[in-house]
Structure 1
């Protein structure tokens, strides 16, 4: 088997709260391989989103080691982490995080422009078309439905052709039918670009679509972690 694209070795996360230091994650060891779709499940407050943030370098581990695409995240500064995410990660959150003063096309093109891509708008238009929004490119977020805004967020995540897609409850703010269509697009994004995808979800039927499912309970991997879905 090839080297993992993401590897965690005894990773922990502690955060300072009002009542003192709170241990969020305990000794997480996990490998994720190229092209794999991994579902992260567990009860609310179990640490799923925190684990996703560690994988993307959006949160720093308190101890242990995390590597992504061969880079040791603990040895990288904030600028280096930002460039790594810009060039290799696509991130989709429950909240859409679109820039309200930019059109759909401009929102999708923004990370490509930051990366210096000369074809930023052409590629952005392609990705909007791929999620069925070619006719809404000039609309602002306030003029789009929740489902359309999430489609724009998916197009933005797909536009840099990421190696890794991190998705945190991407259908949490959507109704059932709209959420189902977003999930189809998300898995299609992963297939089209051969991306590794890590998906945080509360939905067992959604997790079952992943190649593998990992369960977190009280910040620890459960005994069944890593069992294929």
Structure 2
């Protein structure tokens, strides 16, 4: 059995609240295999997004251990975490988080420029074409619809060819038609780049596309459905 791409061991997250410390995650142990698509579901406040943030090193576990690609995220400082994410993870948020003063092309090129890629804009243009926005590359976020902005966010997350894609309610701010289109693009990116995909969703049709689904409630894993990870094209035995 190969080592997991992501592993949590008794990971806990406690945040300060007005009435004192609040236990958000209460000892999560979880492995995610290479090439797997994992869905995180549960009621609001169950800890889904917080768990995704732990997986991406965007929140630091209060105790326990979080590893990704064999690296201990809990032992890294903020600069080391930022460098690790830049080279290995793509993150897609519900609210897009595009830079409003940059065009679509410039937004997608940002992670490549941070990596020092000489061909950042050429690669960004190819990725925008892949999500159907080649003709919109010179438009600013305010000139695009919500569905188009989410496509730009997907292209930005995918353009460095990350080993891990994390998505937090990627269809949550979109209508049904745009949500379906983004869902198809997200799984298409997974298939095209061979990435491991972890997503938070309330949408049953999105969860149904996952290899495995984890249900959270009150900061603990309540149940799990699904099975083995998908084979990854080109993966070595």
TM-score bracket for the superposition, by shorter chain length = over 0.9
**Structure 2 counterpart of 1:159:** 159
What is the CA distance between 1:81 and its match in structure 2? 0.3
- Matched residue of 2:105: which SS? helix
What is the CA distance between 1:225 and its match in structure 2? 2.1
Q: Which runs of 4+ in 1 moved over 3 A?
A: 226-229
Distance (Å, rounded) in 1 between the aligned partners of 2:99 and 2:203: 28
What is the CA distance between 1:42 and its match in structure 2? 0.4
Distance (Å, rounded) in 2 between the aligned partners of 1:89 and 1:74: 16
**Structure 1 counterpart of 2:46:** 46
TM-score with structure 2 setting the length:
0.95
- Matched residue of 1:101: which SS? coil
**Structure 1 counterpart of 2:233:** none
What is the CA distance between 1:203 and its match in structure 2? 1.3
- Matched residue of 2:57: which SS? coil
What is the CA distance between 1:115 and its match in structure 2? 0.5
**Structure 2 counterpart of 1:95:** 95
**Structure 1 counterpart of 2:33:** 33
CA contact (8 A) 2:211 2:226 kept: no
TM-score with structure 1 setting the length:
0.98
Gaps (5+ residues) in structure 2?
A: 229-237
Q: Give 1:67-146 correspondences, 5 Å limit.
A: 67-146=67-146
- Matched residue of 1:142: which SS? helix
**Structure 2 counterpart of 1:219:** 219
**Structure 1 counterpart of 2:235:** none
Q: How many residues align?
A: 228
**Structure 1 counterpart of 2:199:** 199
- Matched residue of 2:116: which SS? coil
What is the CA distance between 1:226 and its match in structure 2? 5.0
CA contact (8 A) 2:54 2:61 kept: yes
CA contact (8 A) 2:10 2:28 kept: yes
CA contact (8 A) 2:52 2:166 kept: yes
**Structure 1 counterpart of 2:234:** none
Please, what is the CA RMSD of the aligned residues?
A: 1.0
Distance (Å, rounded) in 1 between the aligned partners of 2:48 and 2:206: 15
Distance (Å, rounded) in 2 between the aligned partners of 1:90 and 1:120: 16
- Matched residue of 2:224: which SS? coil
Q: Give 1:162-201 correspondences, 5 Å limit.
A: 162-201=162-201
**Structure 2 counterpart of 1:8:** 8
Distance (Å, rounded) in 1 between the aligned partners of 2:227 and 2:39: 10
